Amino acid sequence: MTEGATRFGRGVARVLLPPYLLALMWVVCSPADQARHVTGFVGLLADGIAALGFDAAAAFAVIEFAANIVMFVPFGLLLPLATPVGPGTAVIAAAGTSVVIELVQLVVPGRVSTGWDVLANTAGAAVGAGIAALAMRAQVTGRNRESAPQEVRG
């Protein structure tokens, strides 16, 4: 991987991180009736699963947990690619951000604050940070390979 490709990837992450964070804050801090315009798919999926004979409440809980994981993957992925923060620190930042979000949701109409959301959000960030760590390692490996003498490259 060339230095230009590395700069390009960092630039893309820097462009994507701010709108992602703004969208995240809108979704998690909006009153439930407004956020439902974006998150309503969770209820639709749960209803579909319930139509297959499964318990609707259980389906909703599982899908909401999975959605919280997916929602925080970009946090863990973009933060270490866009900033000097490492993947581990990105996971810690995501956990702290999630705690703050849950505290804010205590006063937002219709929102429910739970520790399960913090767990799911942190797990999602860990997935994203793992992907970022792999990408960063590939960049370093590619640079080392490119700078190695021709006989070593194979």
Pick from 57-61, 116-120, 141-145: least confident: 141-145
For residue 9, pLDDT beyond 60: yes
Distance in angstroms (rounded) separating the CA atoms of residues 77 and 91: 10
CA contacts within 13 A on the Cβ side of 51? 6
Q: What is the pTM of this model?
A: 0.81
Show the 3-state SS of 66-86: HHHHHHHHHHHHHHHHHCCCC
pLDDT 10s digits, 88-124: 999 999 999 999 999 999 998 888 899 999 999 999 9
Provide the 8-state DSSP code for 55.
-
pLDDT interval class at 1 (50, 70, 90) = very low
